[in-house]
Chains A and B, each alone.
Chain A
Amino acid sequence: MTAIESTNAHVHDLGMPGNPISAAIADSVAVSGEKQTALKAKDLKTDQEVRWCPGCGDYVILNAVQSFLPSLGIAREDMVIVSGIGCSSRFPYYMNTYGMHSIHGRAPAIATGLAASRPDLSVWVVTGDGDALSIGGNHLIHTLRRNVNLTILLFNNRIYGLTKGQYSPTSEIGKVTKSTPMGSLDHPFNPVSLALGADATFVGRAMDSDRKGLTDVLRQAAEHQGTSLVEIYQNCNIFNDGAFELLKDPATGTQWTIPLVHGEPLVFGPGGASCVVRDEVGGLRIAERNQVDASEIVVHDAHRNDPSYAFALSRLSSQDLRYTPMGVFRSVDKPVYDRMMADQLEEARAERPADLAALLAGGDSWTVS
């Protein structure tokens, strides 16, 4: 929680003393009394009817987020959720915070401008696999490399839901959909690998139905300073039902899921029979525990500065989800964009205070009398 508190230390210090934004906020607080930070899940609900298909994984995620957010101790008015377009991107309408349901793929860009100019806010992005990785792929990678203070929730259902079931950039090769009756031809993205390739400072993965795991990753993501990307596997029961069944079904889930716990050895599988070890060329591979020495088992280190370890972890998965690490892949501290931007403004002001008349006159003026 310390990290969040330090965000709020910047509250309303927008670097412009007496600016109208701070004044409006102060006025509103005077009207409504103190800022309400002791919230319950129901305080975050809106009067808008939720319009996802019954059974959609988005409901579960919404509930988890609404239950978890109050624990951050942030007032509703200080949270903003920006989304793109897609089923998942309807999310802001159901959250009693500030929100913008923007245009397809552009939420990270819009959120960047908001977060960069308002470091006092807690800004969240909700996006889908098509929204974030297809039309908005460019914005996503650049947002990650800049490390703006944002938390991005990528709802990956491996399909285009809102447009009724075309394959997406995370669909497995050979996916038969309306637009690919003979099977899709293109190789999918692994969103975690992509984010790590963009040097993202925080990357995690969670399952919609796993309330505890999801909440745990969300908490770490929210506390992280800089851009956090959380890939959430989300079931679209209409167009891609059962996409994550291999991991959800207890019978197979333990076998194929690698839980990531910082500081713990990477051991998984029924009875902890499998583990992750280094391979011969510097990457990682799966091994049977009884085939290797305990000292060979990799101990998970999410704080490693070099992203190649986390990348190697992400590459353990095949596109059919066999061996899927879940949890926080990487969480490292790096300078945060909006802070640095605010610091530059400070520095400029310290060097030469703003004097509009002098600026307009410039260095080479002359006077006609």
Chain B
Amino acid sequence: MTGITPGSTAPAGAAVDAPSSAPGGLVKSVVALDRVVIRLAGDSGDGMQLTGGRFTSETATFGNDLSTLPNFPAEIRAPTGTLPGVSSFQLHFADHDIMTPGDAPDVLIVMNPAALKANLPDLPGGGLLIADADEFTPRNLAKVGYASNPLEDGSLDGWQLVSVPLTSMTTDALADSGLGKKEAERSKNMFTLGLLSWMYHRPTEGTIRFLERQFRRKPQIAAANIAAFRAGYNYGVTTEAFAVSYEIKPAPMAPGKYRNISGNQALALAIVAAGQRSGLPVFLGAYPITPASDVLHELSKHKAFGVRTFQAEDEIAGIGAALGASFGGALGVTTTSGPGVALKSETIGLAVMTELPLVIVDVQRGGPSTGLPTKTEQSDLLQALYGRNGEAPVPVIAPRSPGDCFDAALEAARIALTYRTPVILLSDGYLANGAEPWAVPIIDELPDLRVDFATEPNGEDGEFLPYLRDPETLARAWAVPGTAGLQHRIGGLEKADKTGNISYDADNHDFMVRTRQAKVDGIAASLPPTEVDDPDGDARVAVIGWGSTYGPIGAACRRIRASGRSIAQVHLRHLNPLPADLGEILARYDRVVCPEMNLGQLAMVLRAKFLVDVQSHTQVRGLPFRAAELAAVLQDVIDGTTGTVATSDSSSDTPAQTGAAL
């Protein structure tokens, strides 16, 4: 089997080390690569997410740049061995900075026939395919409609197939562990991880420590998993099946402390940090929903930081409790996904009216209705911007990468506390579960979020005016219950200016509606100038995006530039208010293209606000854009072709559409 290359899209690897000798005189060579994309696929019960997560941690510790794409079914355990039960984890890692989890894998590991069937279409010809031969039984093959065993019938000749009995090698390795066969088999994912760790020169101590910690109370299981992991590694060292291992050097990174982080983790940590930086207790009111629940889980662990988490009876109670806590002076937070935001709309309106700080996190998933719970989408933008009765302006912010969820959530807290307003943070399933290396911030460099509570009367006649505003921010006075002499009543009925008493006066209503809008519009004054990435400086076409499309759009722009063309990239963090300089920036370009994982929601807003003929490019497949496809679209725009762009996407039967598709 010498001569296996990893199928990497990287330049042909060169052997760097002198061939190393393995026991038994086996000669193995090491090939240097600049990047690789690996996909692990198996049954939901095979532990692919855990295995991928561990491989990611090893890779992060090693110092590669990386990006991940977990992809799992909505069902907890679909019937074993079936197509709906397939779960996969893709990891892209490199010796340079990368922006996406990779369009397609170079290496595919399949734990059963269903995983092969579901994932093979994504593996380019010539790619390395590793299969657990033990699971390709007649019964498992029949479950997914294979008439004969593809590992044996020559149908996989177009790929570099390595068929290995992963399951039986695992059980053999655990023969003396005292575990039954079924139980021992469950460690096959760790055997596979060991093999991959050898193949890619990953450090192994972290995984061993992890397993010890994870199974602290079950030492026998811990020992078995570690033994399987080591056996997999040693198998790599000794086997003739794999003659080559690969080296991907660490990526250059600015000095500092790093960790691997997922979007949901980063978001949760930011909420803890916001509490600490404001000095306020944090109150999270939430109802479980994919893909937002992990934020609730994570925050529930941080009670020592004064974080109260409340699992409410529904989304309405979650946000209601958070708003009640805000009234009491806490940083109120509620986390959910699109269907939950729909339920929270009325309370968001109340927060707009009562002008209390509140952070609403929407980790978007495929919609409408229950939609695609475990898949990603950006289709809640218009809901976030406009999904309420009345004129109810709400600032909207979107992070662009897993690590950026931290900064974006802190920014949401800043706006909420400074302007006394609900703020919607639009993350999505891809950011939530995806991971990347993250420079651990230095506490003193985090924004100062301290607030000024009212402590004495502010009116001319010695009275307290809860709706007297700061002339600069238009934020109203915030007096918390318990503050002597400042008792007041707030609520959803229209407020009289300054006093906050009920008012049905026509002019007052007109004034208050405009004032609430002006307050939110005024946030734009606190935003830095919009960054335009145009390294060549002569781009005629700009591509504009928001949220998690940052990586794929950025990667596509690199491809465009590598082809000798120029393109400008603008990526929005603030969706409401839009940056003050945005209209002027967009007007500079001949064409503006807006790729979105919806049917053109930002494009519609940009067209309406700036009268710019934005060209919308959309895809709603529950998956992030592929950089190559986007690059093709952008290239056609630059080269003057418009209209529908056919994509060379072998796995998707519906070509992506260009043009405003509203």
Contacts and interface: CB of A to CB of B under 8 A. Distances in A.
Contacts of B501: 48
Interface stretch (B1-9, B324-332, B584-592): B324-332
A31 B329 contact: no
Contact of B281 (A14, A31, A361, A364): A14
B352 to A, nearest CB: 12
Nearest to A117: B325
B455 A28 contact: yes
A120 B482 contact: yes
A357 interface: yes
Contacts of A120: 482
A109 B317 contact: yes
Contact of A117 (B269, B308, B347): B308
Contacts of A367: 255-258
Given A100-B327, A114-B328, A12 B320 contact: no
Contacts of A341: 308, 310
A97 B321 CA distance: 20
B304 A110 contact: no
A20 B451 contact: yes
Given A357-B443, A366-B258, A97 B350 contact: no
B480 A31 contact: no
Nearest to B279: A20
Given A12-B482, A116-B325, A102 B502 contact: no
Determine chain B's interface SS by DSSP, over half rule: mixed
Interface residues of A, number: 77
Nearest to B322: A113
A25 interface: yes
Interface in A77-119: 77-80, 82, 85, 92-93, 95-103, 106, 109-118
Interface residues of B, number: 79
Contact of B491 (A46, A100, A111, A361): A100
Interface stretch (A61-69, A245-253, A342-350): A342-350
A352 B482 CA distance: 30
Nearest to A46: B489
A356 B260 contact: no
A180 interface: no
Given A16-B281, A354-B306, A356-B276, A368 B454 contact: no
Nearest to A365: B259
A21 interface: yes
A249 B332 CA distance: 49
Interface string A113-150: 11111101100000000000000001100100000000
B483 A113 contact: no
Contact of B454 (A24, A79, A345, A365): A24
Nearest to B62: A366
A318 interface: no
Given A21-B453, A365-B259, A113 B303 contact: no
Nearest to B210: A364
A35 B354 contact: no
A77 B455 contact: no
Contact of B443 (A32, A99, A356): A356
B456 interface: yes
A99 B112 CA distance: 61
B481 A362 contact: no
Nearest to A83: B491
A17 B365 CA distance: 40
Contacts of A28: 455-456, 483-486
B313 interface: yes
Given A93-B502, A106-B316, A117 B330 contact: yes
Nearest to A16: B306
Nearest to B356: A100
Most B C-beta atoms less than 10 A away, residue of A82, A142, A360:
A360
A143 to B, nearest CB: 9
Contacts of B455: 24, 27-28, 31
Contacts of B607: none
B312 interface: yes
B324 A365 contact: no
Interface in A325-367: 341, 344-345, 347-349, 351-354, 356-357, 359-362, 364-367
Interface in A298-345: 341, 344-345
Contacts of B312: 109, 142
A78 B482 contact: yes
B273 interface: yes
B482 A112 contact: no
B450 A20 contact: yes
A75 interface: yes
A71 interface: no
A29 interface: yes
Contact of B324 (A36, A112, A354): A112
A97 to B, nearest CB: 6
Contacts of A179: none
A25 B483 contact: yes
A158 interface: no
B484 A35 contact: yes
6 contacts: A16-B306, A24-B453, A25-B484, A102-B350, A341-B308, A344-B303
The 5 closest A-B pairs by CB, nearest first: A113-B321, A101-B491, A113-B324, A109-B320, A24-B453
Given A98-B481, A113-B328, A361-B259, 10 more contacts: A24-B329, A24-B455, A31-B485, A116-B310, A139-B317, A352-B304, A353-B304, A359-B302, A362-B261, A364-B57
